[in-house]
A and B are shown apart, each in its own frame.
Chain A
């Protein structure tokens, strides 16, 4: 499993990436591994507000449902519409075509409160075994 260096991570296994003045959000390879085959992603509509560390949607696999948590507060700008018909994109490329939403952050500094890849991997080590 890989955790790209250029991303920030949450304890709930989302990643966030600054792209200009927007933040792109997805779930990590660890989350994908835990979920198994993703079958449905429930997400907010563009224009809706999300709150940092609060639920903004749900992701379902064959077996289970998990909540999605926003890494930062702000307004949803874009939603990955391809996931509607092809939720398996999340399994195939959680950091690429399987992204979930982009957010216009109300406070970009919130990103600094997230974990970098090294810290996230350290955190994962405390979860296993």
Chain B
């Protein structure tokens, strides 16, 4: 089992550690609800060093990454980032990624921990020998500072204007608390915030400095449990739940990251065909109208028939309702459509609602 450079810090903070994608990761410190609320109202600090990071460099870097993902990397300015998916030849989703253009000839690709080996192999197979690239996941740590007070905390830490002035999906090099890092205004919570990439050996210094500076702001360390409820309320996809190698981006509601007319990429012809032919199911958000909590894998029912499956479900601490996502036939995807969720053999009422469930 792999450990992040912050394993001892988590232990000291009383975290409960669980196995996740081959890593021992903190699932919670004080409790999921409290941590969730901290991020929505103040700020939370996450260790997400398990995420995979791949650097692609050289004059060919932009074009090379552009060919591997559905979104338009060629248009990405230096210091900007974008969300995208990476598909196979059939247009099915291998992973969802954030692509950062760090420098003119330096691209950072961040992938899910659970998909790291697959994505690294995919890159190895499809990047030409003239394109230098490097899986730096084992050398890099990643901290996410998320919440409305995130910027104020970075300000108190003496972060430079290069960082404080970042807009959404901007990225820049900065030095914070003596630590050299890449700072991006990205995240996975539906709140404002920063993701900070630094060398493993600097992770403890950075983690402690942020926690100390954040204390007057009510900053709390936050585990993967609240990360999941936060992202679900914001309708951010969880790979392996909401999207996988059986789903394409259109039915997942990710058509906005597929740029069919912006240069070739793996899966483009398949996706063009899917779009032309149309597709019959869609990922919808629902909330429970009767007492019950939908969970990943539960059947979705309509007229007593099984019509789909819940991909994610849990209480939504901020929205105050039990919410979920799942694939249903298009005819049942309209907001207001009554559905049933089968919970331990019983049908419990739910209704299709607009997403995101929560918007700041």
Decide: A62 and B295 in contact? CB cutoff 8 A. Answer: no
A65 contacts B by Cβ under 8 Å: yes
B31 contacts A by Cβ under 8 Å: yes
> Assuming the A-B contacts A60-B293, A62-B229, A63-B27, are A37 and B33 also in contact, with contact meaning beta carbons closer than 8 angstroms in the complex?
yes
Residues of B within 8 A of A58 (CB): 344
Decide: A62 and B292 in contact? CB cutoff 8 A. Answer: no
Cross-chain contact of B225 among A36, A42, A65 (Cβ < 8 A): A36
Residues of B within 8 A of A65 (CB): 293, 295
Decide: B225 and A63 in contact? CB cutoff 8 A. Answer: yes
| Bound CA span A46–B244, Å | 44
Decide: A37 and B31 in contact? CB cutoff 8 A. Answer: yes
The size of the chain B interface, using a CB distance under 8 A, is 17
B186 contacts A by Cβ under 8 Å: no
Residues of A within 8 A of B295 (CB): 65
Cross-chain contact of A62 among B291, B314, B344 (Cβ < 8 A): B314
A79 contacts B by Cβ under 8 Å: no
Q: Mark A42-73, 1 if CB is under 8 A from B, else 0.
A: 10000000000000001011110100000000
Decide: B293 and A39 in contact? CB cutoff 8 A. Answer: yes
Q: Mark A12-24, 1 if CB is under 8 A from B, else 0.
A: 0000000000000
Minimum distance in angstroms from A30 CB to a CB of chain B? 13
A7 contacts B by Cβ under 8 Å: no
Residues of B within 8 A of A40 (CB): 291-293, 315, 322
> Assuming the A-B contacts A37-B32, A40-B291, are A62 and B27 also in contact, with contact meaning beta carbons closer than 8 angstroms in the complex?
no
Residues of B whose CB lies within 8 Å of any CB of A are 27-28, 31-33, 225, 228-229, 291-293, 295, 314-315, 317, 322, 344
What are some 24 contacts across the A-B interface (CB < 8 A)? A36-B28, A36-B32, A37-B31, A39-B293, A39-B315, A39-B322, A40-B292, A40-B293, A40-B315, A58-B344, A60-B293, A62-B32, A62-B33, A62-B229, A62-B314, A62-B315, A62-B317, A63-B27, A63-B32, A63-B225, A63-B228, A63-B314, A65-B293, A65-B295
